């Protein structure tokens, strides 16, 4: 991870990396960053320029900080417009040959100014700052994203599933067998530790999980995993979409975040005297996340299409509540199988999807959790079952509220969150709000079909 100024990469890092990639046929290197609309933007250069890129970076406009998902340029209070330039500096430690794109390698980039200091709104640096804040509090965070996507016939604006069969069904797996084998092999060649792959519930849907890492590494893995899925799918003759909703009123695709919190003694979500084995600091961390969930929706699922997925009784996590193995709660505590709990216990945030910037997601969740630890918060009563089956009066009596039901409401929640505003700093906080509010305003009168059509092939 790069420091506060553009680092001078050591020859000991660069020479072996360049030689290895050249021997593997790599000629071009892609540097990626994720903007506040969740779009992965790229610049590329020949491999032989790697030493120069590692020292001086590659130019990129800061205008993308306030681009919407469909490339409409907005201006925020601090960022946006045609002026200025940034330097994209690759993280050499994450430099990876793209197996499904022969001749190419990829690396995530950190953003610096032309004068050398870190760019104030670098999303990857924001995530790293929150990891450092956790470490200063004696805590280590591990994280991973689940990946759900839909396979479609190519060359069509509308969605036609490439495979059929029941959700989780063997018939669908048979249709996916060759594709899945190629995908998992490709990911493992790229250093991604695949835990499971299976046919999912929605039309043409598949899911894949990778092992947990440090939060910045988990966000890097999310970018590389989706990149790899799209490339392998294209070579297989299909089209992949990570959009949250391809067909209104149907089940959508999420990008659930799993995380665990450890101190020097072990997992704070296990072996404690609290509910389901929670230790006091672990409960406080989750209580902080739960408190900020309305604002976190704007970070992790703030696109207009996100709210087509966030419906009741779909296990999408629309309720501002927590529960033990409760799939309708936005915050789900997973304690693991007997004998594994000390290392397997984790929390899942179910309301997020792939329209989000994964670096902002992990950073914002950590910031919310650390605030809970500082304030020694406690969790309210947990929920069980499906709150949608209760009447509104019964939900009110139980204190169960729905999370924001639209992008403007989510943006307002983010604007009012003192915890996230402080963590993000004014420039990044304002840029994210500018994007979310701009998208909300432009699509305020759009129908669900129009929103799905506008976002279907964006992620």
What pLDDT does 1 receive?
47
Whether this model's pTM surpasses 0.85 = yes
Domains of the chain, each with CATH number or no CATH? 11-119 (3.10.20.70), 130-455 (3.30.590.10)
Task: Report the pLDDT value the prediction gives residue 3, as an integer from 0 to 100.
Answer: 61
* 10-residue stretch averages of pLDDT, the chain, 459 residues long: 62 76 96 98 96 92 95 93 91 96 98 93 98 98 98 91 91 95 98 95 93 98 98 97 92 95 97 93 98 98 97 91 95 90 93 98 98 98 92 89 97 98 98 98 96 96
Distances (CA, A) of 122 to 4, 69, 86, 432: 11, 18, 10, 12
Residue 97 in tokens: 């040959």
As a whole number of Å, the end-to-end CA separation of the chain is: 26
- Residue 161 to residue 163: CA distance in whole angstroms: 5
């Amino acid at each position: 991870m790069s420091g506060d100024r553009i680092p001078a990469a050591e020859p000991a890092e660069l020479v072996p990396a360049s030689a290895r990639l050249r021997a593997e046929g790599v000629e071009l290197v892609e540097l990626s960053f994720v903007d506040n609309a969740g779009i992965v933007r790229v610049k590329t250069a020949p491999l032989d320029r790697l030493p120069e890129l590692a020292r001086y970076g590659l130019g990129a406009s800061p205008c993308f900080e306030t681009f919407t998902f469909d490339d409409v340029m907005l201006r925020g209070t601090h960022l946006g417009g045609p002026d200025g330039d940034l330097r994209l500096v690759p993280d050499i430690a994450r430099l990876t040959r793209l197996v499904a794109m022969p001749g190419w390698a990829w690396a995530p980039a950190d953003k610096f100014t032309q004068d050398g200091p870190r760019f104030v709104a670098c999303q990857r640096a924001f995530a790293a700052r929150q990891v450092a804040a956790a470490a200063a509090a004696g805590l280590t965070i591990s994280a991973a994203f689940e990946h759900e996507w839909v396979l479609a016939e190519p060359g069509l604006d509308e969605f036609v599933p490439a495979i059929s069969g029941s959700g989780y069904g063997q018939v669908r797996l048979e249709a996916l067998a060759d594709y899945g084998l190629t995908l998992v092999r490709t990911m493992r060649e790229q250093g991604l530790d695949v835990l499971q792959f299976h046919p999912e519930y929605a039309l043409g849907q598949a899911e894949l999980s990778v092992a947990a890492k440090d939060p910045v590494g988990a966000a890097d893995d999310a970018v590389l995993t989706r990149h790899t899925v799209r490339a392998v799918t294209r070579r297989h003759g299909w089209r992949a979409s990570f959009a949250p909703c391809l067909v209104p009123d149907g089940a959508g695709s999420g990008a659930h975040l799993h995380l665990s919190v450890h101190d020097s003694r072990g997992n704070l979500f296990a072996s404690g005297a609290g509910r389901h084995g929670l230790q006091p600091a672990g409960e406080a961390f989750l209580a902080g996340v739960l408190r900020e969930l309305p604002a976190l929706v704007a970070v992790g699922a703030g696109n207009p299409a996100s709210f087509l997925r966030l419906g009741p009784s779909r296990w999408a996590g629309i309720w501002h509540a927590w529960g033990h193995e409760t799939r309708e709660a936005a915050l789900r505590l997973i304690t693991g199988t007997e004998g594994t709990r000390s290392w397997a216990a984790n929390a899942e945030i179910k309301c997020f999807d792939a329209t989000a910037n994964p670096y902002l997601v992990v950073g914002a969740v950590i910031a919310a959790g650390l605030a809970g630890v500082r304030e020694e918060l406690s969790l309210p009563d947990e929920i069980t079952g499906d709150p949608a089956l209760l009447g509104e009066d019964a939900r009110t009596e139980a204190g169960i509220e729905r999370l924001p039901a639209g992008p403007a409401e989510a943006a307002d929640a983010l604007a009012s969150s003192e915890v996230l505003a402080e963590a993000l700093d004014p420039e990044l906080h304002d840029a994210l709000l500018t994007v979310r509010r701009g998208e909300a305003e432009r699509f305020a009168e759009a129908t669900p079909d129009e929103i799905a059509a506008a976002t279907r092939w964006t992620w």
